[in-house]
């Protein structure tokens, strides 16, 4: 079955880091990229960046540049997104999605990250 399965919800304190995983199955992992998109409560979709699972090339949105790292592990077909120095406005559902050319054709179920003291 072609799918992306994400790790579970997280609650973090301000200043901490979070690492969300996204495990792919049912397709050739290295033939696509993985993007990360977040959605704050009641808000729209915000693109955070993407990584090629083929060669590891990555591109981050300026808003999270310097705080985010996206990686892939081809041996386990898993992508990771780590966000550091968390702030309350990082509270959101974080989605991974498969990238083909530049569109996002397969989405994970989302991971709620709550940043609160």
Partner 1 sequence: EIVLTQSPGTLSLSPGERATLSCRASQSVTSNYLAWYQQKPGQAPRFLIYAASNRATGIPDRFSGNGSGADFTLTISRLEPEDFAVYYCQQYGSSPWTFGQGTKVEIK
Binding mask 50-79 for partner 1 (x = CB under 8 A): x--------x-xx-----------------
Bridge partners (DSSP) listed for residue 25: 3
Does residue 45 touch partner 1 according to CB under 8 A? yes
User: Closest distance between partner 1 and the C-beta of residue 36, in Å?
Assistant: 11
Can you give the length of the chain in residues? 117
Q: Are 2 and 105 in contact (CB under 8 A)?
A: no
Does residue 110 touch partner 1 according to CB under 8 A? yes
Of the candidate spans 7-15, 17-25, 66-74, 93-101, the one that interacts with partner 1 by CB under 8 A turns out to be 93-101
Q: Tokens 């992306």, residue?
A: 4
Site size with partner 1, rule: CB under 8 A: 22
Let me know the angle formed at the C-alpha of 105 by 104 and 110, rounded to the nearest 5 degrees: 75
């Amino acid at each position: 079955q072609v799918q992306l399965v994400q790790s579970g919800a997280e609650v973090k304190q301000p200043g901490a880091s979070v690492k969300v995983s996204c495990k792919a199955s049912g397709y050739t992992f290295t033939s696509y990229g993985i993007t990360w998109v977040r959605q704050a409560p009641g808000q729209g979709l915000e693109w955070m960046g993407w990584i090629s699972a083929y060669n590891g090339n990555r591109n981050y949105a300026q808003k999270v540049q310097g705080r985010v790292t996206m990686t892939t592990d081809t041996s386990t077909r898993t992508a990771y997104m780590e966000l550091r120095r968390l702030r309350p406005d990082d509270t959101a559902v974080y989605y991974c999605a498969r990238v083909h050319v530049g569109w996002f054709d397969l989405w994970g179920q989302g991971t709620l990250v709550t940043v609160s003291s």
